[in-house]
């Protein structure tokens, strides 16, 4: 039996579309869409705000599809649409099936945020609420995705293509499939498309994504022990440079700084602004201090504690914690040609902590003493 055939029949194939369970052919499917901890979930804070008198309700809605794909569609007043309704929408070609994630004036703000003009003529339309035949075809199409991904990887491997197929999304009417892939260089997949079309008897579209987008689709657990930010809440990827790690006093170790996507971790940017602002009050990290005992150079910095650790060139293992304000005073004296007697006069006396205390914290030690 092939690996693709070992999939459990109880698996929820629609969980990547925001469904708590699979659509039903005998119920109304009013409760399949659920709000949860997901970057695709949006809180409609305007739902209790009534429209001004005489204002026409906004005619666009937001529809969610698989994983992080969302789009806006134009509805008409005859359709009474609500969040969670399964709808058939215009696609190219045919129609697609999705779930409404937002309606009302909040959609206007979402479109403005994404720089989409609601008056554009090319905004696609909502055809109808999904019929029983639409849902039946939708279920059939979605259940093919796991097998299609497995078979497409086998075919691509047979062609020795330097690409990685990450995900497959079938269109709701079962006439088209989008294959998402990553590749380090340009790939000629014309032969692959012919073989895939012959294998699955549908229209094939290849769509390249980046390494970060791949990680967001596949998900996983980060080195922090939590789910990946890109698969839970992070919806935009900003450039991450090694300068962010350098400013935060992190060692430039690629194995520790890289995420599961192989790129620098997005979380390096989270505290970058705080560190950059705090370091504005610090002197340059290459300034030497002149004392009568000899020159001293900085070895490390505790940014938020406001401490710079100095050591004499003659005794580099003897570190002394000097407050930033004291360092500035010493540097000003050096600029005037005055050398201080010794660093020890300015060093802060730090309490020596045990190794166990550094791990569990002082509060835990006090708790154990009780």
Q: Are residues 293 and 189 in the same domain?
A: no
- Residue 153: inside a domain, yes or no? yes
Does one domain contain both 171 and 203?
Answer: yes
Tell me how far apart the alpha carbons of residues 97 and 14 are, in angstroms, rounded to a whole number. Answer: 12
Asked whether residue 116 is assigned to any structural domain, the reply reads: yes
Low-confidence ranges of the chain (pLDDT < 70): 1-10, 36-40, 349-370
CATH number at residue 179: 3.30.300.20
Helix, strand or coil for residue 119?
coil
Q: For residues 156 and 191, state if they share a domain.
A: yes
Could you tell me if residue 38 is inside a domain?
Answer: yes
Of how many residues is the chain composed? 370
Which of 90, 109, 139 is the last residue in one of the domains? Answer: 139
Give yes or no: residues 174 and 188 share one domain: yes
The residue among 139, 140, 138, 168 whose CA lies nearest residue 153 is 168
Name the nearest CA neighbour of 192 among 163, 172, 231: 163
Q: Tell me what pLDDT residue 4 has.
A: 43
- 231 shares a domain with 187: no
* Structural domain contains residue 233: yes
Q: What does residue 213 show for φ and ψ, rounded to 5 degrees?
A: -65, -35
Q: Is residue 363 in a domain?
A: no
Whether residues 40 and 149 share a domain: the answer is no
For residues 96 and 197, membership in a common domain is answered with: no
In whole angstroms, give the CA distance from residue 367 to residue 369: 5
Taken in order 132, 134, 137, 143, the sign of the CA dihedral is negative
Residue 365 maps to a domain: no
Q: How far from chain centre, in Å, is Cα 362?
A: 35
DSSP 8-state code for residue 351: P
Alpha-carbon distance 317 to 138, whole Å?
A: 69
Say how many domains are in the chain. 4
| Residue 319 near residue 310, CB atoms below 8 Å | yes
Is 9 in the same domain as 127? yes
Q: Which residues, 6+ apart, have CB-to-CB distance to 286 below 8 Å?
A: 298
Let me know if residue 352 belongs to a domain.
Answer: no
Q: Could you write out the DSSP letters of every residue in 306-349? A: TEEEEEETTEEEEEEEEEHHHHHHHHHHHHTT--BS-GGGTPPP
What pLDDT is stored for residue 295 in this prediction? 87
Structure tokens at 203: 């229209």
Q: What digits encode the pLDDT tens for the residues 162-186?
A: 999 999 999 999 999 999 999 988 8
Residue 309 phi/psi, 5-degree rounding, is: -95, 120
Q: 116 with 155, same domain?
A: no
Give the residue from 64, 61, 87 showing the smallest Cα distance to 18: 64
pLDDT at 205: 93
HSE toward the beta carbon, residue 122, CA cutoff 13 A:
3
Reported pTM: 0.72
Exposure string of 196-233, with b = 16+ CB inside 10 Å and e = fewer, is: beeebebbbebeeeebbbbbbbeeeebeeeeebbbbee
Angle at 236 between CA 106 and CA 251, to 5 degrees: 145
What pLDDT is recorded for position 354? 46
Query: Quick one: 133 and 149 in the same domain?
Result: no
Q: Are residues 135 and 149 in the same domain?
A: no
Which residue range is the domain that position 310 belongs to?
A: 283-345
Torsional sign, CA 212, 216, 221, 225 = positive
**Residue 247 domain-assigned (yes or no):** yes
Please tell me whether residues 23 and 104 are part of one structural domain. yes
């Amino acid at each position: 039996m092939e690996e693709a055939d070992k999939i459990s029949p109880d698996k929820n194939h629609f969980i990547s579309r925001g469904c708590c369970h699979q659509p039903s052919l005998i119920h109304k499917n009013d409760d399949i869409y659920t709000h949860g901890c997901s970057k695709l979930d949006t809180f409609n804070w305007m739902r209790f705000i009534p429209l001004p008198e005489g204002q026409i309700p906004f005619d666009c809605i937001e529809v969610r599809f698989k994983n992080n794909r969302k789009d806006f569609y134009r509805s008409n007043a005859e359709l009474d649409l609500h969040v969670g309704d399964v709808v058939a929408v215009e696609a190219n070609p045919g129609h697609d099936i999705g779930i409404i994630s937002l309606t009302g004036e909040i959609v206007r703000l979402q479109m403005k945020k994404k720089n989409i003009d609601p008056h554009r003529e090319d905004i696609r339309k909502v055809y109808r609420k999904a019929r029983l035949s639409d849902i039946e075809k939708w279920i059939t199409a979605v259940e093919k995705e796991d097998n299609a991904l497995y078979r497409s990887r086998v075919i691509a491997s047979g062609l020795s293509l330097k690409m990685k197929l990450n995900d497959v999304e079938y269109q709701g009417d079962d006439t088209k499939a989008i294959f998402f892939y990553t590749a380090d260089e340009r790939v000629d997949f014309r032969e692959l498309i012919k073989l895939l079309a012959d294998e699955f008897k549908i229209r094939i579209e290849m769509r390249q994504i980046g390494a970060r987008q791949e990680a967001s689709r596949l998900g996983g657990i980060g080195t922090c022990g939590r789910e990946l930010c890109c698969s839970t809440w992070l919806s935009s990827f900003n450039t991450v440079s090694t300068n962010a790690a350098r400013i935060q006093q992190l060692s430039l170790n690629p194995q520790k700084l890289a995420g599961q996507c192989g790129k620098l971790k997005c979380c390096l940017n989270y505290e970058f602004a705080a560190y950059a602002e705090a370091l504005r009050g610090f002197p340059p990290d290459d300034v030497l201090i002149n004392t009568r005992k000899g020159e001293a150079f900085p070895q490390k910095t505790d940014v938020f504690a406001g401490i710079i650790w100095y050591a004499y060139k003659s005794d580099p293992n003897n570190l002394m914690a000097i407050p930033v304000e004291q360092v500035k005073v010493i540097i000003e004296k050096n600029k005037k040609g005055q050398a201080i007697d010794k660093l020890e006069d300015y060093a802060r006396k730090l309490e020596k902590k045990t190794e166990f205390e550094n791990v569990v914290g002082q509060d835990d030690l006090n708790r154990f003493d009780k």
